[in-house]
Amino acid sequence: MRARLIAVLTIPLAALLVVLGVAYARSLSHAGHQDLYLDRLADANLFVATARQAFAAGDPQLVDRELDRYRDVYGIEAAVLDNSGGIWATNGLRVDDLAAPRQRVVDAALSGRSDSTLDEMSPWSAGELLVAEPVFDSGDLLGAVVTSSSSRQLAEQHRRQLIVVLLGGVAAVAACVLLASRLAHWVLRPVRMVDAAMTEIWHGHVGARIAGASGPPELRRVVTAFNGMSEKVEQLIYKQQEFVSNASHELRNPLNALLLRIEDLHFSLGDDAGSEIEHVREEGRRLARILDALLMLARDQAAAGAAPAELGALVRGRLDAWQPVARETGVAVVLDVRGEVWCEVDDIVVESALDAVVDNALKFAPAGSAVDVRVEPAGDHARVTVRDRGPGLDPEEIEHVADRFWRSPRHQNVRGAGLGLAIATEFLGSCGGRLEVAAADGGGLAVTLWVPREAPGA
């Protein structure tokens, strides 16, 4: 953005400097040629007076001496022509083989008009300036005076002036770029500070603030508003974490009391109900771990309990816990484990995500159908696919299926709050995994849990 701003500021100014520089250089060149022409015109008029006397006396040597001295002093060739165009006196100038533009100047003078090749000369290139003046005596045309001088020195002078103008333009453009760079830095400094603070917040540092903002007043107001917004967001997050922490604590107390009563119940019932009591006890412990996982997600912390786990056994254990629900709804849960798949994950995170997906599948699977669960390796991830044969979703609905509290209009009468797949997505994201939802062939949904084989950062 800084480069674009500098370009916007400097390119029009550079173009303006180029136009002005070219115009100034052309003006200098034109002025130089005009001065040269006026100087040669003055010389030609001096020779006109001398040539008139020479024509009157019929002696060309009167003007020959002046022409020779003129050439010796200034190095400029000149000639006096009679009214027929013949050379009457010269210091070396030849006019019998002139090119068309130069011959036009001589013919104009012999017809009684002053003329020159000034208009034929280019601004910065060397050429010959031919000036011709008619010689009159009492209204009679006697002949013409013609001078021819090189503009090489003048062209060299013009080129040096052009170089100076170019160097000045380059210096001006460099100064403009420097000024534009400083201006862009001043204007964009608040934007960079906002970007840096937003990046910090994105990485979890919600306490990021912007101090000592400079720049235009409009952007300083943006910085002030950003700091106020960040303060508000931090307060909301803190209140949320405080609420989740208090809720977890309040739920843990009755849960611990429930586990104690289960232990008392175990002693009361004896060994006959030991297996069922152990299942209940394990579910209570698992509920405690879920509370810890929810607290971890609310605080936006990474999974801290990552350890090697065999994914097939983990999935089988959770599906066993869901069998009573499946039998009650008349749905068969079929597991297909394709080899041992070891992952380094927090088992409670994966179990909680799987529970949300299986619960969703059992809710929508019709009685007498099956929910297929397949576990298989997939490169650096493991894949757990849960496929039901329920009504499924339209493609545009699948895009929103992981949104919190979203429910299809067709399923408003089915129990649930629209949080299951959203929670599963967040659980998997906390350990470096992801959730994919797609329409299954033959109807229903295929929900895939991608679980990393190694813990993030390992």
432-444 pLDDT per residue, tens: 888 888 888 888 8
Please give the mean pLDDT across all residues of the chain. 81
Contact, 176 vs 9, CB < 8 A? yes
Q: CA–CA separation, 89 vs 22, rounded Å?
A: 43
The full DSSP string for 85-153 is S-EEEESS---TT--HHHHHHHHHHHTT--EESGGG--SSS--EEEEEEEEEETTEEEEEEEEEEE-HH
Query: What are the pLDDT digits (tens) for 44-75?
Result: 999 999 999 988 888 888 889 899 999 999 88
Q: Which amino acid is at 363?
A: K
> Looking at residues 235-263, what average pLDDT do you find?
75
State residue 414's pLDDT score: 59
Q: How far apart, in whole angstroms, are the C-alpha atoms of residue 334 and residue 353?
A: 18
d(CA 150, CA 64) in angstroms, rounded, equals: 21
Which distant-in-sequence residues (6+ apart) come within 8 Å of 384 by Cβ? 311, 315, 354, 373, 374, 375, 448, 449, 451
Q: Residue 336: left (phi > 0), alpha (psi -120 to 50), or beta?
A: beta
Contacts of 417 (CB under 8 A, 6+ apart): 405
- pLDDT surpasses 90 at 402: no
Query: Could you tell me the CA-to-CA distances from 437 to 256, 400, 422, 445 in Å, in that order?
Result: 37, 10, 11, 7
| CA atoms of 423 and 358, how far apart (whole Å) | 13
**Residue 376 confidence class, pLDDT cut points 50, 70, 90:** very high
Class of domain 206-302: mainly alpha
* SS percent in the chain: helix, strand, coil, step 5: 60, 15, 25
According to the model, what pLDDT value does residue 375 have?
A: 93
pLDDT score, position 302:
47
Tell me the mean pLDDT in the region 249-266. 74
Q: Which residue has the higher pLDDT, 291 or 95?
A: 95
**CA separation for the pair 287, 138 (Å, rounded):** 130
Q: Calculate the dihedral angle through the C-alpha atoms of 265, 270, 274, 276, rounding to the nearest 10 degrees.
A: -50
Supply the pLDDT for residue 433.
Answer: 86
- Determine the average pLDDT of the residues in 145-174: 84
Please give the helix or strand (H or E) that residue 227 lies within, else none. helix 217-269
Query: Which element (helix H / strand E) includes 80?
Result: strand 77-82
What are the backbone dihedrals phi and psi of residue 274, each rounded to the nearest 5 degrees, phi first? -60, -40
pLDDT score of 415 = 59
Nearest to 402 by CA among 420, 384, 386: 420
For residue 273, the model assigns a pLDDT of 66
Strands 128-137 and 115-116: antiparallel
Of 347, 367, 364, 366, nearest to 447 by C-alpha is 364
| Percent of all residues in the chain with a pLDDT value above 70, rounded to a whole number | 86
Assign a CATH topology to domain 1-157: Beta-Lactamase (3.30.450)
Is 400's pLDDT higher than 50? yes
CA distances from 144 to 8, 68, 96, 147, 235 (A): 59, 17, 14, 10, 100
pLDDT given at position 455: 58
Query: Could you tell me which of 365, 352, 381 has the C-alpha nearest to residue 446?
Result: 365
Comparison of pLDDT for 158 and 293, the residue scoring more: 158
Q: How far apart, in whole angstroms, are the C-alpha atoms of residue 91 and residue 63? A: 10
Whether residue 230 contacts residue 201, with contact meaning beta carbons closer than 8 Å, is answered with yes
The reported pTM is: 0.45
Task: State both tokens at 427.
Answer: 């659980």
Note every long-range contact of 216-225, with CB atoms under 8 Å and residues 24 or more positions apart, other chains counting.
216/187, 216/190, 219/187, 219/190, 219/191, 220/190, 222/190, 222/194, 223/190, 223/193, 223/194
Sign of the C-alpha dihedral, residues 64, 65, 70, 73? positive
Q: What pLDDT is stored for residue 195 in this prediction? A: 81
Classify residue 418 by its DSSP letter: S
The pLDDT of residue 443 is: 83
- Please give the pLDDT value at position 416: 53
Nearest to 410 by CA among 438, 390, 389: 390
All structural domains of the chain with their residue ranges: 1-157, 206-302, 306-452
User: Which 8-state DSSP code applies to residue 388?
Assistant: -
Residue 297 is predicted with a pLDDT of 58
Q: What is the pLDDT of residue 272?
A: 65
The pLDDT of 399-413, averaged and rounded, is 67
Rounded Cα–Cα distance for residues 103 and 31 (Å): 25
Side chain identity at 320, as an amino acid letter?
A: D
Backbone angles phi, psi at 284, to 5 degrees: -65, -45
CATH architecture of the domain with residue range 306-452: 2-Layer Sandwich (3.30)
Give pLDDT tens digits for 132-158.
999 998 889 999 999 998 888 877 887
Confidence of residue 413 (pLDDT cuts 50, 70, 90): low
